[in-house]
Amino acid sequence: MFELISHMKRRPVTAVFLIIPLIIVALLRLFPALDIHAWSLSWYTRLIQYYFGAFASFIALVAALFANSALGEKTTARSIFLTLGFITLSVLFLFSSLGTPNILIQGASNPAFVWSIRLSLPASAFFFAASAMDWSGKAEKFIVHYRRLFWLAELLVLLSYGLLVFGYPQGLTFLLAFEPVLPAVIGILAVVLLLWTARRARVLNWYGKQMINGRLAVVFLLLAEAQLCLILGVAGQLSWLMYHPLVLTALIVTLSAILKSFQTSRDVQLSRYFAALGSILIAGLSLVSAEIGFRWLNTGIGVNRTSLIPLSIAQGTLSFIILYVIVFYLNQLINERNEALRREQHLRSELTQLIVHDLKSPLTVLLSGMNLLGKESLGTLTETQKRLIVNLEKSGDDILQMINDLLDVERLEAGALNLQKTLTDSQALLQKQIDESKILASTNKQELTLIQEHRLPQIRVDRGLISRVFANLLSNALKFTPESGKVQVEISQQNHELHITVADSGPGVPAHERQRIFEKFAQVEGGERRGAGLGLTFCKMVAEAHGGSLTVEESKLGGALFCLILPFSEEEVYLAEEIAQPQPKSYGDWALDAPHHTPTPN
- 168, with CB counted inside 10 A (0-12, 13-18, 19+), is exposed
> What is the spatial distance between Cα 185 and Cα 226, in angstroms, rounded to a whole number?
15
pLDDT of 431 > 70? The answer is yes
Percent residues over pLDDT 90 in the chain: 11
Tens of pLDDT, residues 515-531:
778 776 565 554 454 44
Cα-based angle 201, 202, 203 (whole degrees, multiple of 5): 100
Average of per-residue pLDDT across 339-362: 70
Q: Which amino acid is present at 584?
A: P
pLDDT at position 186: 93
The architecture of the domain spanning 421-590 is 2-Layer Sandwich (3.30)
Residue 192 — very low, low, confident or very high, per pLDDT cuts 50/70/90?
very high
Report the Cα 28 to chain-centroid distance in Å.
Answer: 35
pLDDT at position 190: 94
pLDDT at position 78: 84
pLDDT of 22 > 90? The answer is no
Tens of pLDDT, residues 489-510:
999 888 778 899 999 988 888 8
Tens of pLDDT, residues 25-66:
889 888 888 888 877 766 677 777 888 888 888 888 878 877
The reply to whether domains 341-414 and 421-590 share a CATH topology is: no
Cα separations (Å) of 78 from 57, 82, 158, 201, 546?
21, 6, 21, 11, 22
> What is the spatial distance between Cα 251 and Cα 173, in angstroms, rounded to a whole number?
32
Decide the pairing of beta strands 421-424 and 447-452: unpaired
Tens of pLDDT, residues 248-301:
899 888 888 777 766 655 555 566 666 666 777 777 777 776 666 666 666 554
DSSP state, residue 533: S
pLDDT at position 270: 60
Could you tell me which residues come within 8 angstroms of residue 564 by beta carbon, excluding any fewer than 6 positions away? 469, 473, 499, 500, 501, 502, 539, 543, 548, 549, 550
Tens of pLDDT, residues 83-117:
899 999 999 998 888 888 777 776 656 778 888 88
CATH class given for the domain over 341-414:
mainly alpha
Q: What is the DSSP string of 116-173?
A: HHHHHHHHHHHHHHHHHS---HHHHHHHHHTHHHHHHHHHHHHHHHHHHHHH-GGGGG
Tens of pLDDT, residues 200-246:
887 665 544 566 777 888 899 999 999 999 998 888 788 888 888 89
Residue 426 — very low, low, confident or very high, per pLDDT cuts 50/70/90?
confident
**349 or 31, which is more confident:** 31
Mean pLDDT across the chain = 76
Q: Domain coordinates of the chain in residue numbers?
A: 341-414, 421-590
pLDDT of 537 > 90? The answer is no
Average of per-residue pLDDT across 319-338: 72
Please provide the size of the chain in residues.
Answer: 602
Decide the pairing of beta strands 447-452 and 549-554: unpaired
Which residues are 452's β-sheet partners?
491
